[in-house]
Copies of this chain bind each other. A is one copy, B any other.
Amino acid sequence: MSKYQHIKEEAYQANMQLPELNLVLFTFGNVSAVDRKEGVFAIKPSGVPYPELSPDAMVIVDFDGNTVEGSLRPSSDTKTHAVLYKNWEDIGGIVHTHSTHATAWAQAQCAVPIFGTTHADHLTVDIPCAPPMDDKMIKGNYEYETGFQIIDHFNSLKLSYKEVEMILVGNHAPFTWGKTAAKAVYNSAVLESVAEMALLTRQINPMTPRLKQALIQKHFERKHGPDSYYGQS
């Protein structure tokens, strides 16, 4: 049995949640789970349909994107995962999908405005949208540069990846992450729902203002403050 069995299992279970939550068509998505001690992560193989996946099909890759174990080619987005794991040390899992509404916002190259408490319960800023890369980055090591595009956009907005666990990549689609692969999947589903409601909100009232500061603060503290009282402790 592989010494990476635990992350293969974690990545497999999390990948199987994507079709369950209606976040992927065919193979348009992937989840990875990291083992920080070993410095590797398990990721979905490229182009394999979800019903044919198994824990053993997961590919083990190091933080430079080299395959360490596994007979299949890893997801074509593997290098983006690798860059994020290498630079953001507290991430345990990463998800990439082309879920319908989140992808539409990414294609429109617009951040998702914070309009309500569903959004504020999870993050207290607009969901960021990284601009498309410049041509040199695209022509170079594309998926590798996608990772840096994400990190650079977070830095330019002074966001913490521990507070904001999701981003849209302009012209492309969303990435989410979290302490575990399961939490990253949860964030992908939240993002898709928040993105859909934000679009509908503006269709009802194109002048809808962003959530006011007192509500943003309240919802942030309700979950993250010293006296948090959301969920079971």
A13 on the interface (CB 8 Å rule)?
no
Complex contact A193–B25 (CB within 8 A): yes
C-alpha spacing A199/B122, complex, angstroms: 26
Complex contact A118–B103 (CB within 8 A): yes
Complex contact B204–A104 (CB within 8 A): yes
C-alpha spacing A186/B28, complex, angstroms: 12
Complex contact B215–A138 (CB within 8 A): yes
C-alpha spacing A193/B104, complex, angstroms: 11
A-B contact pairs, 26 of them (CB 8 A): A25-B189, A25-B193, A26-B190, A28-B118, A47-B230, A48-B232, A76-B229, A98-B118, A100-B200, A101-B200, A103-B118, A104-B201, A104-B203, A104-B204, A105-B204, A106-B116, A107-B197, A107-B208, A108-B202, A110-B204, A110-B205, A115-B171, A116-B173, A118-B173, A135-B212, A139-B218
Apart from A108-B201, A132-B212, 11 more pairs, CB < 8 Å: A25-B190, A26-B190, A46-B232, A47-B231, A73-B232, A100-B193, A100-B196, A101-B200, A108-B115, A110-B204, A171-B212
